[in-house]
């Protein structure tokens, strides 16, 4: 497995997995359809509630096998897949597991603990597979629950899957209305879960869609994510250049060690270089490896490196 240094990591082409949650009727489906080149997997009949002017291509699936077949046809045609809702997808996965794996069924009826394990594994596999070709948006309804005298809006999703679905997500937003205006909350609070990344955080207002206006909010948000990622990479460029200069100079110093008395001056020279990122740590490790290969050791008595006796 290749090791990639932080300064060489490039996420500019990364597809995004996002969760949008909220109470029914707040506008989650319409918002999701504002993503770039989008297709909707309509497992919850959400498209029927969308203004006809804002509807996009959709797949209406009744089983998980149908969903997988439709996803194959999406590749090369769409950039974003919306799953409406994530809770309905989990129900599909439960049905699929119970039909295909005997251990997924309880003797008393319903899905077994082993069955939930199969569902979790397949959900993570599907998310990773979708990310290879698409942005992915999971829509979730929420329900009101009481937690320590506070109202908490939790995902409508089966059992422990409520926690599982956050694992592959880059962004997660709770969509709600404040003083008559819609907002996406990307910061978790005592009232809902959320997830921020790539400079997208806090409360972001979702403008009201007027007749004739393009529905492109998430297209612009995803473009901002990629711009933020590119900006981070640009910020690292000067550090990367300084790192490469330090590494080149340090390796020349290490290559010049051919006698015990040259070891300590070499180490001091390495530490005086203008370091950046992980250059000092890497060069000190390379120095130790060279000293070991040469058969030198540090003597506390003379405070210098000597040949091993």
d(CA 161, CA 90) in angstroms, rounded, equals: 8
Asked if 85 and 173 sit in the same domain, the reply is yes
Asked if 164 and 297 sit in the same domain, the reply is no
Final residue of a structural domain among 215, 244, 265: 215
d(CA 167, CA 227) in angstroms, rounded, equals: 24
Asked if 201 and 261 sit in the same domain, the reply is no
Does residue 254 sit within a domain? yes
Q: What residues contact 165, with CB distance under 8 A and at least 6 apart?
A: 19, 86, 90, 123, 138, 140, 155, 157
Helices (H), 2-101: 28-32, 64-74, 86-100
Range of the domain at 299: 236-307
* 279-294 and 263-272 helices, crossing angle to 10°: 170
Does residue 207 sit within a domain? yes
pLDDT tens for the chain, 309 residues long, are 556 555 555 555 689 999 999 999 899 999 999 999 999 999 887 788 888 888 999 998 899 999 999 999 999 999 999 999 899 999 999 999 999 999 999 888 888 999 999 999 999 999 999 999 999 999 999 999 887 788 999 999 877 788 899 999 999 999 999 999 999 999 999 999 999 999 999 999 999 988 888 999 999 999 999 999 888 777 777 888 899 999 999 999 999 999 999 999 999 999 999 999 899 999 999 999 999 999 999 998 888 899 987
Q: What residues contact 269, with CB distance under 8 A and at least 6 apart?
A: 253
SS3 63: coil
Asked if 203 and 247 sit in the same domain, the reply is no
pTM: 0.76
Buried-state track 43-64, b at ≥16 Cβ within 10 A, e below 16: bbebbeebeeebebebbebeeb
Asked if 242 and 287 sit in the same domain, the reply is yes
Number of domain units in the chain: 2
Asked if 209 and 269 sit in the same domain, the reply is no
d(CA 144, CA 239) in angstroms, rounded, equals: 48
């Amino acid at each position: 497995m290749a090791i990639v240094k932080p300064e060489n990591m490039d996420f500019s082409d990364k597809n995004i997995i996002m969760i949008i949650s909220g109470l029914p009727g707040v506008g989650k489906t319409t918002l999701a359809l504002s993503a770039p080149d989008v297709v909707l997997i309509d497992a919850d009949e959400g498209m029927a509630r969308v203004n006809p002017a804002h509807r996009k291509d959709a797949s209406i699936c009744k089983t998980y096998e149908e969903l997988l077949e439709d996803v194959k046809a999406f590749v090369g045609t769409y950039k974003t897949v919306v799953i409406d809702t994530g809770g309905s997808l989990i129900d599909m996965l439960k049905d699929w597991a119970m039909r295909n794996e005997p251990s997924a069924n309880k003797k008393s009826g319903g899905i077994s603990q082993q069955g939930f394990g199969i569902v979790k594994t397949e959900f993570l596999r599907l998310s990773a597979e979708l990310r290879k070709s698409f942005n992915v948006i999971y829509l979730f309804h929420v329900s009101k629950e009481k937690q320590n005298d506070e109202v908490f809006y939790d995902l409508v999703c089966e059992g422990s899957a409520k926690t599982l679905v956050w694992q592959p997500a880059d962004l997660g937003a709770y969509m709600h209305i404040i003083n008559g205006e819609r907002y996406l909350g990307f910061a978790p609070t005592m009232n809902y879960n959320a997830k921020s990344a790539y400079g997208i955080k806090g409360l972001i207002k979702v403008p009201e869609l007027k007749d004739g206006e393009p529905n492109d909010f998430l297209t612009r948000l995803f473009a901002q994510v990629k711009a933020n990622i590119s900006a981070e990479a640009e910020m690292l460029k000067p550090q990367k250049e300084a790192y490469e200069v330090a590494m080149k100079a340090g390796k020349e110093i290490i290559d010049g060690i051919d006698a015990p008395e040259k070891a300590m001056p070499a180490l001091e020279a390495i530490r005086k270089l203008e370091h950046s990122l992980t250059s000092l740590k890497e060069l000190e490790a390379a120095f130790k490896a060279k000293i070991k290969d040469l058969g030198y050791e540090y003597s506390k008595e003379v405070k210098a490196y000597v040949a091993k006796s």
